[in-house]
Amino acid sequence: MKYRSLLVTRCGGPEVLQVVERDLRPPAKGEVRIRVLAATVSRPDVSVRRGEALYSGTFLGQKLPFTPGYAVIGDVEAVGKHVRNVAVGARVGVLTVVGGYTEVLYWRADRLIPVPATLDPAEAAPLILDYIVAYQTMHRVAKVRGGETALIIGASGGIGTALLQLGALAGLKLYAIASQRKHATVLAYGATAIDYRTQDFVAVIRQAEPNGLDVVLDGMMRLEAMQGALSLLRRGGRMVSFGEPASRGELACILALALRTKVTPNGKSLALYGTSTYFLFDQKSYLEDWATLFQWLAQGKIQPVIAARFPILEAAQANALLESGEVIGNVVLVSP
C-alpha cells in the first residue's frame, strides 16, 4: 500500500512542492504511524522551502530533499514494538518542524502531544505551533498580569491573532501593529490598531502611554522596530521577540542587542524565544500548556482564525496564499 507526501527537492517557490508516493510500512520499534488529519502552513515552512531559514524557531536550514510542515494533528493507526504510552486510535499532535505535509507520519512515540478527540482537527492544529508560541511568550516568558499594557508587533498572522485572543483573555490593554486592511480583526479583540505603513508606532505609543509599556510581544524580529519598541518600555518592562530575522547580519545585530540589554542595567529585559528544542529541555511545561490550550478551545475561550483550508495534497496552493500577504490568521491543510 502507498501514501502520499509533499517533497521539496530544490529550493524555490510553491511550485517546487511535488507530490510523491511512499510505501506504507509498519512502525519501527518505539515509533507510531499517524494518519494525518490536519497540518498547519506556517511562515517557517516557506522560509525553509526557499532556503532562507536563518532562524526558524531554533533550527537553521534543512538538507534536501525534505517534506515541509511544522505541526500536525492525527490519529495513531499503528504502534511499533515496546510502545506503551499510546494506543491505536488515539488523537495526537506533533511539533514536527519538518515533515508535516503528508498523509501518513511516522514519529517517535515519546514525542507525542495528547489531543482531545472531540476537537475539530483543523482548529486544534494551530494550537501546536502558533498558540503555544503565543501562550509561552505571554505567560512563561513575559509573565503578563491583568491590567498591564502590551504592544503586539505583527498582529494579523497565526501567532498574532493568537496573541490578540490570549491577551484579551488575560485582561491586557492591547496595542497592535498591522496593515490598515487588517485592522478590523485587531479591533475585534479590543486592541488599538496601528498601521505600520502610515504611522510611526513609537510616536503613537509615546503619546498614548507616556509612562511606557509593560510588555512588548514582537513576532517580526526586525532590528529597527525592536530598538524602537525597547525604548517604549517602562522600568521593569519586558520584551519577547520570536520569528525570523531578515538576514544573518540582522540576526547577529539582534543577538548583540539582547546581550547589551542584559548586561546594561536599565530595568528592561529582552528575551528571544524559540520552540523546536522543547522536548530536550522542558517537555513537561509544554505538555501542560498544550493541555490548557486544548481545554480553552473546547470551552470556547479561544477560537483560531482560519483563513482557508486546503486538502493536504494542495499544499502548493496553500503556500502561495500564505505568501500573498493577504492572510489573516491561519492556513490549514486537511485530509479529504
Residue 99 lies in a domain: yes
Q: Do 259 and 208 share a structural domain?
A: yes
Q: Do 17 and 111 share a structural domain?
A: yes
Q: Do 104 and 133 share a structural domain?
A: no
- Distance between CA atoms of 94 and 100, rounded to whole angstroms? 9
Q: What is the pLDDT of residue 274?
A: 82
Residue 244 lies in a domain: yes
Q: Do 57 and 97 share a structural domain?
A: yes
Residue 180 lies in a domain: yes
Q: Do 212 and 182 share a structural domain?
A: yes
Mean pLDDT along residues 248-268: 86
Q: Do 157 and 257 share a structural domain?
A: yes
The structural domain count of the chain equals: 2
In the beta sheet, which residues pair with residue 175? 151, 192
Residue 292 lies in a domain: no
Q: Do 235 and 172 share a structural domain?
A: yes
Whether the pLDDT of residue 55 is over 80: the answer is no
Domain holding 171, by residue range, is 129-272
pLDDT, tens digit, 9 for 90 and up, residues 156-176: 999 999 999 999 999 999 999
Mean pLDDT along residues 213-225: 94
Residue 209 lies in a domain: yes
Q: What is the pLDDT of residue 58?
A: 41
Whether the pLDDT of residue 98 is over 50: the answer is yes
The rounded Cα 312 to chain-centroid distance in angstroms is: 19
Q: Do 133 and 92 share a structural domain?
A: no
pLDDT, tens digit, 9 for 90 and up, residues 295-334: 999 999 999 999 999 999 999 999 999 999 999 999 999 9
Q: Where are the alpha helices (DSSP H) in the chain?
A: 43-50, 121-126, 132-135, 158-169, 183-188, 201-208, 223-232, 248-263, 278-281, 283-299, 315-323
E strand or H helix at 34: strand 31-41
Mean pLDDT along residues 283-303: 96
Q: Do 100 and 136 share a structural domain?
A: no
Q: What is the CATH number of the domain that holds 104?
A: 3.90.180.10
Dihedrals phi, psi of 267, to nearest 5 degrees: 80, 5
pTM of the predicted protein model = 0.94
Query: Last residue of a domain, which of 219, 249, 272?
Result: 272
Identify the residue with better confidence: 68 or 262: 68
Mean pLDDT along residues 242-254: 84
Q: Do 221 and 133 share a structural domain?
A: yes
- Distance between CA atoms of 210 and 159, rounded to whole angstroms? 28
Q: What is the pLDDT of residue 243?
A: 85
Residue 289 lies in a domain: no
Whether the pLDDT of residue 21 is over 80: the answer is yes
- Distance between CA atoms of 130 and 192, rounded to whole angstroms? 22
Whether the pLDDT of residue 60 is over 60: the answer is no
pLDDT, tens digit, 9 for 90 and up, residues 117-137: 999 999 999 999 999 999 999
The answer to whether the beta carbons of residues 129 and 72 sit under 8 Å apart is no
Q: Do 198 and 142 share a structural domain?
A: yes
Closest listed residue to residue 44, CA positions, set 288, 285, 274:
274
Whether the pLDDT of residue 101 is over 70: the answer is yes
